[in-house]
Structure 1
Amino acid sequence: MIEIKTPAELAGMRAAGLVVAEIHEVMRAAIAPGVTPLDLDAIARRELAARGAMSNFLGYGGFPATVCVSVNDVVVHGIPDDTAFRDGDIVSLDFGAVLDGWHGDAAVTVPVGSVPDEITKLLTDCDDALWAGIGAIRSGGRVRDIGTAIEKAIVSRGDYGIVEEYGGHGIGTAMHQDPHVMNYRTRQRGPRLVPGMCLAVEPMITLGGPETHVLDDEWTVKTDDGTWAAHFEHSIAVTPDGPWVLTALDGGAERLSAMGVSTPATVS
């Protein structure tokens, strides 16, 4: 069942999204050699409490932390531990929050210190693919349009593996709702996009093959071939005037405007 929000409910979604965006900024600023995933989890807990919000990750299906911290060849769902980051690592932060019953969810992959040009390009290309997918969101379109745009952007940039086992989702009064949002073109058009629908879009790509496996902890997802992976995500609302990026501080206005995509007049 797809949840359609009223304008007032979208304002609640935006408030939750801003909590996620702000805490992402704090965690990203803390990443450096010697910092550990557990340090980031502690930051997330502290910042959530300061904003009167709750984690939607902690306890979800038994997940033991407030943030997924996935390093290098870990694609997603990494459980924070005390292994210190090293210069040249890449770290994916997948983090969400609940505020007044509304959920926000976003992810970003960042370098630790200096990384090779190939890795910088991996991160840039995955982020750009996310924004290509967001730019394809318009009232009257179809869910398939998102995955088609993501795949086209990725294929145009290089020979990357597009992870297919995991994808985006509806979001609102629960973190994971219908519809499922693929990161590649499918035969099925999927539901029509209508104002009030909220989606989390999250491409994941690798430097090698797309195949992955889950470790014995039943959470950590790694690439089969050991190549490194990138993961970017935002939560977005469909509006009559274009996509509203709920988990971007500016509502997505800067990136989308540069792409020639219209956005709501008010993205506060």
Structure 2
Amino acid sequence: MKQNFAQKLLRFIIVVLCISCSSNGYAQKTFTVICDKTDNTVKVVESEVKSPNFIPIKGGFPFRQVAQKWIDQNYTTTQCNPGEIIDQIKTQSQPQNAPPQQNNATTPQQNKPASGNSNLQTQSSQAPDKFNNTSLLLDIKFSNLGKTLMLKNNLVPGIELGVEQLIGKEIYVGTGILFNAYYATIDQGGENSQFYYFGRIPAFLGYRTKTSGMVFMGEAGVQVNTKMVSTEDDRSVMGRTGTDSSVNLLGRLKMGSETVMFELGTELWLTKLFENYEDFNMTSIYLGLRFYF
């Protein structure tokens, strides 16, 4: 029965990784907002689609809906003026100390609001970075749980799975729903090995910044945990009875791209984990992957 549980848990982890990696690969396709010279219309196209009639306005959008939302926020009409956009690109490419080139040719005004829209586009290029705020996580953990279980090795391995939601931009708050499981080997043969698990809800404050295409994040907060139980029939943890709830501090550092990040974290329990073990404060460290979307 224990071997079947371990096999099912391993299969679950593999499925989560496959789904996360495939969704990440899909997210790599980007979209560009362009001005189509054939009909002077602002459109969204895939970045790899090229045409001499397409004048790029803004690119790098991860989803078509995000690019369309940018158009809705910055353009009051779908009409665009190719001449003004080309002049703007030439102006931005000139050195600051070089005098602007004189353009004697007059470009007919196709649409009056387009001039105001081009100014909005210039202002939006200076807008703060946008970040993905929803993430799936998979962490490999090690805790000192073996100390209270009287094991030869104090370090007990485990995993953490879950989803988290952030609110904010550079400075943000976050919460989520997480699941933790630890696997303790009682003897050499592994016949008496057990799984211990519990759920948790985090609450934390963080700061992030984007530099040269890389995103760096730091977080600190607390987590409220449910009762730790085992997969055994009596649900006890080697004779220990878990408290109904416990609280721990958390600290994390993350780095990576906008969609995939590595994280390193640590946890320290503030309250007791077991009813019949007063002097034990659990600690853990972990390394894992985050998939943002």
Relative to its length, the structure with more helix (as a share) is 1
Where on the TM-score scale, by shorter chain, does this alignment land: which range? under 0.3
Hey, which of these two has a bigger chunk of strand by percent?
Answer: 2
Q: Using CA pairs under 8 Å that are at least 6 residues apart, name the structure with larger relative contact order, 1 or 2.
A: 1
